[in-house]
Amino acid sequence: MGFARTCSVALVGVEGVVVEVQADLEPGVAAFTLVGLPDKSLTESRDRVRAAVVNSGGEWPQKKLTVGLSPASVPKGGSGFDLAVACAVLGASERIDPRVLCDIVMIGELGLDGRVRPVRGVLPAVLAAADAGYEQVVVPECAAAEASLVPGISVLGVRSLRQLIAVLADEPVPEEDPDQHGRPDPLLAGLRMPGTGASTGMHGMGATPYEQGHDLADVVGQLSARAGVEVAAAGGHHLFLQGPPGAGKTMLAERLPAILPRLSRGESLEVTAVHSVAGLLPPGKPLVDVAPYCAPHHSATMQALVGGGQGVARPGAVSLAHRGVLFLDETPEFGSRVLDALRQPLESGHVVIARSAGVVRFPARFLMVLAANPCPCGRFSERGSACECPPSAIRRYQARLSGPLLDRVDLRVEVDQVTRSQLTGAGARGESTETVADRVRAARERAAARLAGTPWRTNSEVPGRELRNRWHAAPGAMDDAERGLERGVLTARGLDRVLRVAWTVADLVGHDRPDAGDVGLALQLRTGVPRGVPMAIGARA
């Protein structure tokens, strides 16, 4: 009787569970049984592994073969177990020393010719292996850079099963024929999930919009909207832009990720893990170090927005925008149930998807930007407008955004129609992305220094009770906001959010704590009601 075991990783959301892959050979009629709660794609690995072993020069054992995946209670799916199953079988048949396999984690799909193909979720799988105490992992060659992002672990990238057998058996490693120059790597075919490319708006792995030529200086006028975008970036506050078509709402949203600070190492690993599970990591860029930008179409379903789907739950747009920007253009056109599903992740910073097979948790701490027209035709707020929408249609259109959802939005800005003189004039341009980004970065550093020793890093994350008890505004600065609470203009949550925004404004202008002017600007941004407070943050600094 032959027995061997090695390890692989089962992904549950963006978290991994180390699975022991055991192979047992017994005398009897040749058969291959796979147990341990496998799904359809994993069950089919029996044929892939058999063909890969034979085509790699190995001998398939003609005995009763049982492969067990332990723990058996954890659902397992995908083709990433192929490599571990093949090596466990070869270890049981003594082609490879079983003792060599025990402490190695193997991740990869096998082609019928023995080539090792990449799979989604390599980074979270290697992170799970490192957390479990393993020090050696084997991954496909093209995913070795992604796996190497995890410190303290030895990564072996292989291109074929033949190479791995030679390495484990201490034999000369055969050379693999390189692919023809200029042709796409066939090993990457099918790695990306269909329907999640750049055309869907679910991207953010490449250069920032500023590096692609998008600059805040391109936005003509819109002093209030520019101030709202800057405050949103500095404090991580959600933003609602309302105005007629063509006023520049989309331009402002597209330029917001470029003024956000670069992701820290820990944040980069979080974002990269989500994008790896979704199959959105581009070749040659294993680490996402800039804020992602996700702009789903208004026809997106609830599963597309918050995650889920058939079978294994997949991350949605809110998770793909983790640590970045989620832009919902034409927000009233989204389904009401879809929008209301955003309430929980906006508060908690994560999404919990419950299915009969288990519960999946995805991170979802994002900066949300909503954009909407004032009425169905979009001309309601224009000066001398020709809006012909009846009042009932305008009320229905605006009521599509529920009060509880809007109450979670810190900043509400009216985007005015650009005038002819602003568009054609040769006056001074607005501040560039680089200038605003420097000011945002300095404000983030002030907030991080103040919040040192706490679990929060931005003002938007601080609970209201902590703000009221530990970080007070200047004496009398909150009087107008408190009167708004008494009159019913603000809710208790709204009062806390005004104080958060006021701290962000104070960080931007360099104040030790918010004064009456900072709170006044925060109130103006929160309620959308003009209060005569100057909106030029750069001038106030």
- The secondary structure of 99-161, three-state, reads HHHCCEEECCEECCCCEEECCCCHHHHHHHHHHCCCCEEEEEHHHHHHHCCCCCCEEEEECEH
Query: If DSSP codes are grouped into helix, strand and coil, which group holds residue 465?
Result: helix
Tell me, letter by letter, the H, E, C secondary structure of 45-76.
HHHHHHHHHHHCCCCCCCCEEEEEEECCCCCE
Q: How far is CA 346 from the centre of its chain?
A: 14
> Pairing mode, if any, of strands 15-26 and 31-35?
unpaired
Token pair listed for 197 = 């490319």
pLDDT value for 176: 80
pLDDT value for 190: 45
Is the Cβ–Cβ distance between 132 and 18 less than 8 Å? yes
Alpha carbon distance 116, 110 (integer Å): 5
Quick one: which of 338, 322, 467 has its CA closest to 400? 338
**DSSP label at residue 247:** S
Phi, psi of 258 (to 5 degrees): -70, -25
pLDDT tens for the chain, residues 1 to 541: 689 999 999 998 888 999 999 999 999 899 999 999 898 889 999 999 999 999 999 999 999 999 999 999 888 988 999 999 999 999 999 999 999 999 999 999 999 999 999 999 999 999 999 999 999 999 999 899 999 999 999 999 999 999 999 999 999 999 887 654 445 455 554 455 444 443 345 444 443 444 556 788 888 878 888 999 999 999 999 999 998 888 889 999 999 999 999 999 999 999 999 999 988 887 778 899 999 999 999 999 999 999 987 767 889 999 999 999 999 999 999 999 999 999 999 988 999 988 776 788 999 999 999 999 988 888 776 565 678 889 899 899 988 999 889 888 999 998 888 777 777 766 556 788 999 999 999 999 999 999 998 999 899 999 888 888 888 888 988 888 888 888 888 888 888 889 999 999 999 998 999 998 899 999 988 887 777 676 667 545 5
Alpha carbon distance 295, 443 (integer Å): 26
pLDDT value for 188: 52
pLDDT value for 385: 65
22 forms beta bridges with 5, 68
Is the Cβ–Cβ distance between 9 and 46 less than 8 Å? no
Alpha carbon distance 426, 324 (integer Å): 34
